[in-house]
Amino acid sequence: MTLSTKQLTIAIQGVPGSFHHQVAQQYFGEDIAVGGYHTFEEVAKSVENTTADFAVMAIENSIAGAILPNYDIIDRHNLFVFDEYYLPISHNLLVWPGQTLSDIREVRSHPMAILQCKVFFAQYPHITLIDDVDTAYVAKLIADGQQLGVGAIASPKAADYYKLEILAADIQTVKNNFTRFILLQKEKPVLKEIPTKASLKITIHNQKGGLAKLLTLMSEHDLDLTKIQSIPVINKPWEYAFFIDTLIGNYDRYQEAIRLITESFGTVKVFGEYQNRK
């Protein structure tokens, strides 16, 4: 008798053909069920309520920077980061087959995708750029309606998935363009090897030089910060929380730093300890 294996359900923001879908398949394999949601909030909720086993969530782009609200979403839904994935981003102008650039009057896509392709479209002032919810979602709408005169900025995977023509390939301004995705789950991961990276939320008390003390302490414990973002703490004027990603030089010294921060001037919430994939 052959035992059946439960198919994993992976939550993503967007529809099939999106960059999130691409990461989900590359990381977990082709044989997965994908749950597509309109917002990152819905993605997080699906993992929190166990509708999905895991989630893929974009957290920063090498050109456009961090997606700060996503750190807050992870925090509020008490999710854990268990890995990260860097995807090279190829933006392409997709259209219903048989058209030329002169036929296209408007191009829709996610605001970050449009931002990354501004230089290309500066050559075509007759094309109006319009923000939309998702790269692949626009491709789907074009395919469903066989729309003429409208283009989408999306991935080659979206072109294949929706049978659209790539009118112009790799139109992103910076060719060495990567998006960092994090992999999320509900339960705290069990460490299988010594982690080399951590995602933290550190809230420091309202005291003079608090941030300087924090940065000095982390540096002294061989922690190389790859990202730091601040947000004010609600109902606590002049107190700030910092979302921090740090490389771990020595795990024992990292743990000592966490202990000293907690004892001396702040609180620490560990979102995840995992392997640096960059």
- Residue 237, domain CATH: 3.30.70.260
Q: Are residues 34 and 54 in the same domain?
A: yes
**Per the structure, how many domains does the chain have?**
3
pTM of the model: 0.88
User: Would 266 be classed as within a structural domain?
Assistant: yes
User: Would 192 be classed as within a structural domain?
Assistant: no
CATH code, 16: 3.40.190.10
User: Would 140 be classed as within a structural domain?
Assistant: yes
Output the CA angle 180-181-182, nearest 5 degrees. Answer: 125
Residue finishing a domain among 118, 152, 185: 185
pLDDT value at residue 210 = 82
Q: Are residues 255 and 218 in the same domain?
A: yes
Q: Are residues 98 and 36 in the same domain?
A: no
Q: Are residues 14 and 69 in the same domain?
A: yes
Q: Are residues 79 and 134 in the same domain?
A: no
C-alpha to C-alpha distances, 170 to 62, 69, 72, nearest whole angstrom:
16, 28, 32
User: Would 209 be classed as within a structural domain?
Assistant: yes
Q: Are residues 103 and 117 in the same domain?
A: yes
Q: Are residues 96 and 145 in the same domain?
A: yes
pLDDT value at residue 181 = 97
pLDDT value at residue 122 = 97
* Tokens 């990292």 -> residue: 254
Paired with 44 in beta bridges are none
Residue finishing a domain among 185, 218, 238: 185
pLDDT value at residue 104 = 98
pLDDT value at residue 134 = 87
Q: Which domain holds residue 57?
A: 9-88+178-185
Q: Are residues 138 and 71 in the same domain?
A: no
User: Would 118 be classed as within a structural domain?
Assistant: yes
User: Would 191 be classed as within a structural domain?
Assistant: no
- Mean pLDDT (10-residue bins), the chain, 278 residues: 69 93 95 94 98 96 81 95 96 97 96 92 97 93 98 96 97 91 96 96 84 93 94 75 95 97 91 96
User: Would 108 be classed as within a structural domain?
Assistant: yes
Q: Are residues 76 and 20 in the same domain?
A: yes
